[in-house]
Structure 1
Amino acid sequence: MPIMNYYKSILLTIFCLICSTAVSQNISEAQLEALQRLTPEEREAVIGSLLNGGNVDGQDKPLAFPRVVLPAKGEEDAISTLQSLQGLGPLELLELLEVEEPQTPEDWLASDISFYMQDIVLEPFGYNLFEGVPTTFAPATDIPVPPRYLLGPGDTVEIQLFGKENRQYSLVVTRDGTINFPNVGPLNVMGLNFQELKERILDYVAEKLLGTSVSVTMGALRSIQVFVLGEARRPGAYTVSGLSTITNALFVSGGVKEIGSLRNIQLKRKGKLVQTIDLYDLLINGDTKQDVRLQPGDAIFIPTIGSTIGVGGFVKRPAVYELKNEKTVADVVRLAGGFRPDAFPKFSRLERISDHFERGYINLDLSESSGLQTTIKTGDILLIPPILEHYISGVRLARHVLRPGVFEWYEGMRLTDLIPSPSDLRPQADINYLLIRRETGPERLVSALSADLEMAIEYPESSDNVLLQPRDVVTVFNLSPNRSETIQPLLEALHLQATSQKPFEKVTIGGRVRAPGTYPYEQGMRVSDLIRAGANLSEAAYRLNAELARHEVVEGTKRQTRVIQINPEAALAGDPDADILLHVNDSLMIRELQEWRDQLSVEITGEVRFPGKYSFNPNDTLASVIERAGGVTEQAFLRGGIFLREQLREREEEQIELLTQRIESDLASLALQAANADMQVQQAQSAGGALLSKLRSAQATGRLVIDLQAMLANPDDPDSAVLLKEGDQLMIPDVSQEVTVLGEVQFPTSHLYVKGLDRNGYIDRSGGMTINAAEKQAYLVRSNGAVFTGRSGWFGRGDSMNVQPGDTIVVPLDTQKVSRLQLWTGVTGVIYNLAIAVAAVNGLNN
């Protein structure tokens, strides 16, 4: 249900937020029992109320019209259940949403457990009649008043005069039982029913008002007070309409408790029993003749339930029934609506508690009258099993077909009678390998055979058009490589039958076939049949040579493997020397063509004359593909070339994840010191959290640092050559004029390149370093991704340290000032380097 999924998501969210601090209670058996008494809708409403503040006082909050109220049964139970669940944690509430509903016969049938071994839970019959009753009861007022309705004080009589006089009166019956008729006088109506009242008024008017006719109807009816006592859900005195019946009063009181009787509800008037109602007549037969109208002061008494019997399994209404006049099994089966069509009454069972308080079992054949006439006792449980699921005289067609199912079998039925044409199959069906599961003998031993539908249709009189037997299962596969889900159960059945005299009958094919795997072995099976089972050779298969491994037991003492060389192409062509007979456990390996690979490609974008994707062969270099792309343009900025490799990106992601875990561990250690921490530890914790957030958002690029200038200047130099791999990307930007300053500076930004300006100058232009800067650990990232650090002082010496266009100067965080965790220093460098690479890639893409 959508509401259940909604509450589950809320509960999971709340639990994740508070699980570290909240201490929840265990669910008691009483709480679980209280929740099980509710319907699924009531259960969700109760838990939803807990999540929204828990209104446990039983008082409805103001709602706009129209309003939806709990059932009368549910209102009382929901309030008490809501009170009992106060204090449970979100996890326990989530578990309560999973309370299982009573099982149905379909559940019993779907279970793998034997029917008599299952937990068959039965609900008492009839008590859900009162579950849909609103909390306020308003009987119908627009129905005709029956002629036998007895008048009493408070009833309103509508009188209309016409003819000589035309007047209309609404006359209320007074406490002394009279109505005051204007111009006529008081008229005593006490003890009269509606029909007698009409006759008396007609006579009265005819006698007193000559030339005048009269119409008499009932207006507003009086309310009467009745009592509902005994095993009612809310026993007490109730004011109801004068038209109310016994069932109306039961609805007002919330219905009958499960310990109350539905078959012996008594109506008492002035201390005498005047009516008994059996609600089973209403529920089963729709008979309302016992549902008489109430009179003031009537008492409805609900006694405790009498003898009961449970009827479970494959009857139309499995439940626990209250007994009245039922004496035999036939009587209670009639109560349960009779047997279902899939019932097997011949093997029914009666569970009975003996006089010695021991549970025993009586086997009954309810297909015979003698079994149906068995006498029943209170507390008995009658179980009706289902018929067996397997079919005896049918043939099943399964998997990749348009009309799967069980079909009638007849003598002489062949495969093409079941599948007349390939048009009966779904698209991309494998018509050359159909698998047939067969059961033979009284033990129903399993065997397997295959068929070629194409050959069967072309040659219907041949052995390819297999003669089918009862209980055969014909499976049609598609051309996908995964067939194990269907074949595995059959292989398991064959494995269970294996003995030392009859080994597990299987063969295996692997390598370059479309559906490699293990398949059932068939008598007379050849190499071509196994290739057919594997959905034939793939386009990458080496057709001239394959390897057949044959496993044989030698003299009953050891197993050895012999390798046989096979020509698959010749085997498929029918060459008897190649298409040899297979043995049990043979394994055929189809080799791959030499140098067979999926098409390799590299993408070159940016400042080349013909950008795009280029195919390449193994051992091709990047320089050779750039030459095929027409070389670089005059605007190419070779020092800023970006070379990306997928394998490196995956490795970077693994390293980022590892670093993230290590920093999380460091932060957890700092958290243990936080209670009595000094300022330094608190600063470290804050800095580590920020560092962890940046690391989690870092994006791996897989950038490989290359010297594109040297590579193109000396394309034959093996030291600078880059061998290509699938998915490589090269991006060559145009000429760059900026120098970027990142990290612990006052204003991280990019500056226009000034010849001769060193790193100090660019850092000064960014406002200088912050107090948290690691001055001696600053480094320079070249536009090609190479990193240089100073050796003699952080500025360094030498041409390699000169700032060039496209370079980035990084001033990292001095983690020594906030923590002794040396790992954090390296992490800051990783983050900055990844950010530089991502920025460069994004710049080129834009």
Structure 2
Amino acid sequence: MAFAKISVSGGKAAIAGIWLSLASAGFAQVTNVPSGSPLAPDGTTSPPSATNSQSNLQTGNNGGNNPFADNGTIGSLDVSEKNQNNPLTLEQILSAKGATADKADNVIKKPPEPGEFEKYIEALLGRKVPLFGTKLVLPALRDFAAPATATVPPDYIVQPGDTIDVALSGSLDGSVERQVDTNGKIFLTGVGAVRVAGVRNSDLHDIVARAIGTKFRGFTASVTITKLRGIRVYVTGLANNPGAFTVSSLSTLANAVFQAGGPNGGGSWRAIKLYRNGQQVADFDLYQLMRGGSRVNDVQLQNEDVLFIPPAGPQVAVIGSVHEEAIYEAKPGESVADMLAAAGGANTVGDPTHFVLYQTGDPERAGPQWLASSVATGTPIGAGDIIQILSTGTLAMPIAQQKVLVRIEGEVQKPGVYYVSPGTTFADIVGQAGGLTSKAYAFGAKFTRQSVKIQQQESFKEALDQLEISLAAAPLNQDPTLASGDRDAQRAAARAVLMRLREAKPDGRVVLGIAPGATSLPGRVVLENNDAIYIPPLASTVGVFGAVYRPSSFLVDADHNARRVRDYIDQVGGSLPSADKGGIFVVRASGEVIPKKRGALNARVLPGDVIFVPVRTQPNLFWAHLRDLTSTLFSFGLSAATIVAVTK
């Protein structure tokens, strides 16, 4: 049989109305309800029978035995599912009879204001270092109040105001809810008052079943606590939001403190007092819960308990390479080691062997002290101290101490990744790779280095930032005779070029300065970790791109040494009228850039050369800077294809 539970309130006059609503809605009544049982009222007046009723429920008008009488308790009636043809819903019936649902009041607490020591650390470091624990009570984080529907533990003590559900099957079939009254009792019709206050939840079933068993036989009972009473507690002292709070009777000291927003900037997290009937019953250290997961002394609250948050103990800042930078509260007798443990200790890159101690509260020892971690346990902590863990994992080591991984590929006998000892040179790594092949083009060797790549990226970003400033200033330097639409189009084109340039990434290429006819790499260059060497085969083409009539790549013929850059430009039809002939430059296969002012037009062409003819631009800051920058972009490791793509 399917049951639905309805909670109602009111006196005897409401019963007939409820019954008529249920009967007209097509509900079946509770079955196997003997007169005078704990699940049914004790009376003789029968309500009208509904068409689909399976049996009748007697609702006498003698309020003393009626479990729905207005006697200060909450009655509940179990009924089967309504007839599906009936338009009324259970929610409509509840609404019509004044039943209401519980609503949780989840109030967001404001974060605590920073204390003076927090402000001092922020001014000293130029950044915020939070007070440990405040993140747990910031808005948008979890609500620490224990809900009224939480699972009730076996050792919970039943108190007045709790709601108990008694469900029976067998000779008695149905269920009823009763609220524990102020005398600690629940009333069951036909059984009488049963004292349950002070009983453990694990013993509640036996107490109630034994009481029912004095009057009835042949039943099976299920007894559960369905709703907990609310209790009132007071959070006082240096709380972020002091006051009186209504919490679940399952709430503990920590629940109430977090519900009050935690301690304020000057309140203690480590010595919270709990007073009951004028006597201190607990002294709780929240660090035990937040850092160690221990709830020892996290006492379950009782009605009218008072929590007092005293002033904070000595505050200490732990900064640097630790797992959680924060300002921590020290207890009397604690040491530097205790504070480091509270911060989680040194992180992966932190130095676990040493620490720096600044004793700001002692003018004679205010400077930094470099101490070994072995003395941390014996070094007492003081108010205002600052502990710093330095980073060692990010220190750059001397070249002579670096064991390196080097990647060498292309035209060598044994390409691969080699793990070599400090001081290994180009000559050494090429020898390990079996030497160059007969087709190797040493002049075109591409050598990239990680440290150079980082430097190039920083320089490239600075250059683009300057371009962006030039673009912003361009309207002040425009030709006044230029039409407004043309100026807008130029600015849009400039922004597009800038966006493409920001997507380009320098690759860390280093120009080796090898002679065009060289057959080996410079042997004395010392390798660094993550260096990469690519030796290409002898190049067979020369490219001409930019503002020319027919951008093309040409196969290098036998007499290429006799041909010059201007010859190849003529071969593609010459420069366009829009070309900037003064900005022509050549990029060698070695990565070297030769501008026109260094004789680019008359330079002899080498295999792998790229000849670039830029477009003449309007005389404003942005385009002037771009023209000046284009020929030097190759020094940032950008390929010729990238330059062509972003400038065409």
TM-score by length of 1: 0.39
| Bigger radius of gyration | 1
| Greater relative contact order (Cα < 8 A, sep 6+) | 2
